Amino acid sequence: MPRQPQPGRQHRSVTLSDDNWEPGELIAEAMGTTRSQLVEALWAYFMRRPGAELPERPPQELIDRADAAWEERKARIRARALTLPCPSCKVESGPCLAGKAKRPTNTMIHRPRLIKAGAEIAEEERAAETDSDA
Ligand SMILES: [Zn+2]
């Protein structure tokens, strides 16, 4: 369960690309901060708040490592998603079907399958972490 925000703060919903947001978690953690703190700092700077400064940019090596980890994770999520039934186009496994004519595709996977696959993998990682902590 996510922590409750402090008074005067609340969870916001913004749309960001997976390819920037997901590897950013590892980068932020390595730099001793969080994605939320970085967004807060950037927004304060954008709003010209007194004392607001741009956050330090990560070294390219860290970005490359985080991007590579995200690419590997994306591939695992896609591979898992292809084994799940799709609630959108009703395919049982394999690539999704596209359009009203439900034409086969080579690579498309509807977002609900990707979300479910990502959640399954994250849950397995949490379980493995708990096991190794014991
Ligand atoms: Zn589908």
Domain ranges (residues) in the chain: 18-74, 82-134
pLDDT at 2: 61
Q: Ligand 1 centre from 25 Cα, in Å?
A: 28
Distance separating alpha carbons of residues 27 and 29, to the nearest angstrom:
5
Q: How many CA atoms lie within 13 A of 17 on its CB side?
A: 4
Q: Ligand 1 centre from 114 Cα, in Å?
A: 10
Q: Ligand 1 centre from 100 Cα, in Å?
A: 12
pTM: 0.80
Q: Ligand 1 centre from 17 Cα, in Å?
A: 21
What sign for the dihedral angle of Cα 66, 113, 85, 103?
A: negative
pLDDT at 106: 84
Paired tokens of 71: 């690419």
Q: Ligand 1 centre from 41 Cα, in Å?
A: 38
Q: Ligand 1 centre from 12 Cα, in Å?
A: 29
Encode pLDDT of 47-65 as tens digits.
Answer: 999 999 999 999 999 999 9
Average pLDDT value for the chain: 93
